[in-house]
Chain A
């Protein structure tokens, strides 16, 4: 039935299309098109009586021109006119034009909607269908609003014929995708579910797609579909191919419907009811059995359809993940496909096996195919199949086979397609880190990676090797030796120079004893690469050089010459110029001790998620997740590097921490510092401590430092306390005259700190500088307090404080025998009001009472605090006084401001320092959004810098309602029904500050089995995601 014989209604169109096809050049084509456009335009303009047929023909020509890729800016009105024609074909063309071109002209939307309304209520099913197709094709918000309540009626109506129901089901699906939240149709749910029982297979096929989407959105409303789906599926798989007539496709009964039902069942957990569950397992077994039967046809369509059902059944088996028998059978079946002559099947088998590798029941069965997969990597001719092989090797890697798999991947990397190299590099880097049993192997692997695929080694990879080497004492010497050897190659990749520069700068001394790698040899070797490198690498090398000056004073003059060379001092690159200048100054004006302090060995990096894994996740969410799942299982294994990164005991710096902190560089990382606060806390235990104890704490701190004379070992008396302590400090600080020189030394020190952070902060490598800055300043503060001679300095321990105030705004901030402090805060937008209530617990008066808030340098300008009402300077026995503060958050800050309270009790001075419950999260405002919106934004915030992720052990029993309460208390709006996994929490909010408002999205994924959480925060400002993540970590 050739259409030409009866569809030749529009000869003019055919002539025009032939003309276009005969055009010899692009110009000729344009000319012909412009001629036609002019013709049509004049017809539309001039001829008021243009009949429907001509309109249809011209509209169709316009459509053809548009589809050729030309812009069309008229004809919309004529197309809309066609919609109201009583001739079906004219209507049809009108609708086609509207469906294709409507987005470019929506002024006519009202008219269009009116026409659709007429047709949708037409008694003729063909017209209703046209209208439904048009709604589904456009699927805009306007459509959803206009027809969201109309279409479901057609779907469940008893009168509508089957084809209308089919169109209505999918039309509704499209509208639901457009506005998922306003169309949940809970009231229709039961009737929609029962479409699965419809006698028309076509209706069931269309309806199951709709039910699938609705179930994902609101699983509870639609959970009744499970049993219906299972029985429908069972009827199909047990039918013979003759039963279903038209719906049998190449001897396979209803493959489309089967696959859709199998997918629908993946939205739900395995049915609890034994009968349904048994029936489902039976279905899956039948599907697996059928694959072993001889094919009923040699046609590829037969095997494709059969295997489509099989693969979907395997997906369901993996989803159920509790039927070991089925999992192993699935794996064996896929194993057969690995060697199938059809490339498609090999590809899909590799893909599915990746998923099976993640299940504990089938992981071992998958590993049996290792050789076949490695072979596929070497012999497959299609890059996309090789890519799958790489994915599978990655997924099946474990401790026992990691060396072989990594070796094979490295080997293949040399000849791998450019398209997959970067990803392979990431994978090799992750596997070698994860399964490293000995760090020499790890270091070798990464360096080899840089050798064979240096261009594809991203920053994350070389940053990570440095992090690990720094955190592992046992790897440092070997790493230094190996990079040194690698650098000797005549041509080595710039990434090798970066790693080499950094590692030798830190650990070059470990190999300096050998004359073949003496300091000068090391320096000359590095410097021979200097001129070939990019400015960023040169900057890094300059930092290495200054570290060399510290490590090897004997080559100081040589290095100073290099630093003072005009190539550096007058370099066009400002960064290089500045570093050279500052480093050369630093090397000449400071004493060796100061230099040693400034250039102290890098402290260990805090344990956190590998940045490489984060990067891979960004590139390939699925495969990274597979590994992660695996990782959570292996979390306990001692081989995992992350666990090895226990805080290394760095000896405290030679000088007392006070001076170190002034410089802000080379502080022992966060860990020792928290120890200090903990120690303080332990000593005070919340009760007013006698002064001696304070001193003791400080003294014991100094005594811990090797090489420091025990100047303050005699317990000072109360009266002499102040001066004595000062002297102690002075004597502890060789090279610094405190306090006089303190001020004069400070500016260069601060500047140094800036370079310092630049120096090491090539991307994510170093996170310390910023926190250090804060902690450093914090310590200055502490030092001053001590010098002024306050007698009590108390602090609520962090965990306590957090539990109290991170999630709520009022409570008892502090209490001892003398004083109770209550707090009550209110926040609105960027403004906050903090009420403090001081209660005197003694019968006698507290006098000289004062309360003040100090801001760290980091908080200065970011948070404005004003005292609205000041507490009186005397508090009578048993009385309570109030103190009110107003705050404005100007921009993002990270730590809580400190409240300092001083008072005298019975003549003895006391002081208390407390963190105010004011953190950035208090300026949150929760926002409500739907899934589309949420995931749209989530994707937008996909930059690695915008995301922060933490994985941590649950501290409390995992309970959704209390978690939700905490998150709400934290300030974020908990959104339900967004995440496909109902256990996961997602939330959204805006942090409001005066200068900026930062949108922020949160996802908290509990893992009941492992008692772990994974927290992911994305915000347009990366600092904020980090800060919030830090706050929330370990709070659940």
Chain B
């Protein structure tokens, strides 16, 4: 199973963190700090896998973002690499040429999409189309309310609410 997935920028800012097992906040912070530093110092041509603590770490860089996940000893590294890739593909299709900013400003979407794709650290649905359809379905429910909210947004733009 996958133990956790992290997205972080080249500057080391964590953009998304998903933990698939129970772990304390302190420990999380320590892992984040250590692992981000470790991955960032690796050079481009190096292999995408690392033995780290009790995990195998699999990471890949897409533009300014690092996608990094920790899997268990018996898990398949190459496939984890493709889990990352598929997630990137889904984000890309959803946001339309996804970039780091999309994930910063729509972080909640990034989490929702991940929930449709991975659950309990395992692949829930490997079909890109099905994951997208599920996310779009829930977006459709959102649009019902959108008109009412249109007027409000002008006020918000000025930071008034």
Contact = CB atoms under 8 A, between A and B. Distances in A.
A588 B79 CA distance: 73
Interface stretch (A8-16, A187-195, A499-507, A792-800): A8-16
A445 B80 CA distance: 41
Contact of B112 (A54, A92, A170, A263): A92
A2 interface: yes
Given A166-B125, A206-B122, A308-B76, A6 B46 contact: no
A879 to B, nearest CB: 66
Contacts of A166: 119, 124-125
B129 A246 contact: yes
Contacts of B143: 6
A756 B129 CA distance: 75
Contact of B48 (A1, A92, A126, A344): A344
B102 A12 contact: no
- Grouping DSSP codes into helix (H, G, I), strand (E, B) and loop, the B interface class, with mixed when no group exceeds half, is helix
A387 interface: yes
Contact of A170 (B111, B122, B129, B134): B122
B159 A12 contact: yes
A312 interface: yes
Interface stretch (A59-67, A534-542, A839-847): A59-67
A705 B104 CA distance: 86
A7 B17 contact: no
A612 interface: no
A87 interface: yes
B124 A206 contact: yes
B64 interface: no
Interface residues on B, range: 35 or more
Contact of B96 (A2, A167, A171, A177): A2
B153 A11 contact: yes
Task: Classify the interface of chain A: helix, strand, loop or mixed.
Answer: helix
Nearest to A245: B127
Nearest to A93: B108
Contacts of A6: 139, 142-143, 146
A136 interface: yes
Nearest to B125: A202
Interface string B1-33: 100000000000010010011101100010000
B134 A88 contact: no
Contact of A255 (B79, B95, B122, B124): B79
A1014 B126 CA distance: 43
A44 interface: no
A382 B46 CA distance: 6
Interface in B40-61: 45-51
A344 B47 contact: yes
A88 B112 CA distance: 13
Contacts of A256: 79, 83, 123, 126
Contacts of B79: 255-256, 259, 304-305, 308, 312
Contact of B46 (A92, A259, A384): A384
A346 interface: yes
Contacts of B156: 11-12, 15
Contact of B125 (A14, A163, A343, A385): A163
A14 B153 CA distance: 11
Contacts of A136: 119-120
B29 to A, nearest CB: 8
A295 to B, nearest CB: 15
A518 interface: no
Given A3-B94, A92-B112, A347-B49, A174 B130 contact: no
Contacts of A7: 106, 109, 139, 142
A205 to B, nearest CB: 6
Contacts of A173: 120, 122
A137 interface: yes
Given A170-B119, A173-B120, A259-B79, A247 B127 contact: yes
Interface string A70-104: 00000000000000000111001100100000011
B76 A311 contact: yes
Contacts of A21: 104
B78 A304 contact: yes
A343 B45 contact: yes
B141 interface: yes
B138 A381 contact: no
A2 B136 CA distance: 11
Contacts of B45: 343, 381-382
Given A9-B142, A167-B119, A170-B124, A3 B152 contact: no
Nearest to A173: B120
A311 B78 contact: yes
B119 A17 contact: no
A171 B115 CA distance: 11
A260 B76 CA distance: 10
Contact of A53 (B73, B96, B107, B152): B152
Contact of A133 (B77, B85, B119): B119
Contacts of B77: 308, 344, 348
A254 B107 contact: no
A679 interface: no
Contacts of B126: 201-202, 205, 247, 249, 254, 256-257
Nearest to A209: B122
Nearest to B111: A96
Nearest to A310: B78
Nearest to A101: B25
A304 B81 contact: yes
Interface string A363-388: 00000000000000000011011010
Contacts of B102: 3
A622 interface: yes
Nearest to B112: A92
A201 B83 CA distance: 17
Contacts of B104: 17, 21
Interface string B91-117: 000111000001011111101100100
Nearest to B32: A69
Contacts of B109: 3, 7
B40 to A, nearest CB: 15
B127 to A, nearest CB: 4
Contacts of A129: 134
A166 B134 CA distance: 12
A140 interface: yes
A1026 interface: no
Given A205-B126, A311-B76, A384-B49, A89 B82 contact: no
- Most B Cβ at <10 Å: residue of A67, A140, A346: A67
Interface in A282-314: 301, 304-305, 307-308, 311-312
A999 interface: no
B47 A622 contact: no
B157 interface: yes
A604 interface: no
A104 B25 contact: yes
Given A206-B124, A304-B79, 5 more contacts: A3-B109, A88-B142, A206-B119, A256-B123, A384-B51
Q: Closest 9 A-B residue pairs measured CB to CB?
A: A246-B127, A308-B78, A174-B120, A88-B141, A170-B119, A343-B47, A11-B156, A209-B122, A308-B79
Interface of A: 1-4, 6-9, 11-12, 14-15, 17, 21, 53-54, 60, 63-64, 67, 69, 87-89, 92-93, 96, 103-104, 126, 129, 133, 136-137, 139-140, 163, 166-167, 170-171, 173-174, 177-178, 201-202, 205-206, 209, 246-247, 249, 254-257, 259-260, 263, 301, 304-305, 307-308, 311-312, 343-344, 346-348, 381-382, 384-385, 387, 622
17 contacts: A2-B96, A3-B109, A4-B106, A6-B142, A6-B146, A17-B105, A21-B104, A87-B141, A126-B141, A129-B134, A249-B82, A257-B126, A263-B76, A304-B85, A311-B78, A384-B51, A622-B73
Interface of B: 1, 14, 17, 20-22, 24-25, 29, 45-51, 73-74, 76-79, 81-83, 85-86, 94-96, 102, 104-109, 111-112, 115, 119-120, 122-130, 134, 136-139, 141-143, 145-146, 149, 152-153, 156-157, 159, 161
